[in-house]
Amino acid sequence: MAALSVWVGGHRAVAQPAFRTVPLPRLPVGVDQSVFDRPVARFNPNLPAELVIRNRTGLPLEYGFTDPRQNVSELAAGETLRLSNLPIPNCMAINTPMLSPVGYRVSVDPLNVITVEVRLVNDVSGDHCLDLQETGAIFVN
């Protein structure tokens, strides 16, 4: 294969070869939150679930379900919130009032307790919503 070359500023420049895409390996649940079609964790949808939110941001958080209630509440810095009798499916928005980017670290224990540690991240997009699906899959959007 011949390399493509062009003249730039009186000098010959040779184009770099095109890169090849390499397929990514299949990763288990929760390994890579940046992939939107992979759940970060799973809970048992056939059992009652409890949601625990730990505010590790150093700032107050605003949170609320996106179901018809649409109430927004505040969780002080360093505080922990426990919610039970969750309506599933549902999505909970968790953010700082000033929209500082946050990241969610999600885990589920054997008692079906979903724990979300919310921390500040150095990423402009950050996480915005914890999506609890009726299949038991948990997505972070």
In contact, 30 and 39? CB cutoff 8 Å: yes
pLDDT tens string 97-123 = 888 899 999 999 999 999 999 999 987
Answer whether residue 7 shows pLDDT above 50.
yes
pLDDT > 70 in the chain, percent: 71
User: Which residue type sits at 55?
Assistant: N
pLDDT tens string 37-59 = 789 999 999 999 999 999 999 99
User: What is the C-alpha separation between 136 and 139, in angstroms, rounded?
Assistant: 10
- pTM, rounded to two decimals: 0.71
DSSP structure class, residue 129: E
User: What is the C-alpha separation between 38 and 26, in angstroms, rounded?
Assistant: 10
For 93, the enclosing helix (H) or strand (E) is strand 90-95
Q: Which of 93, 113, 100, 90 is nearest to 56 (CA)?
A: 100
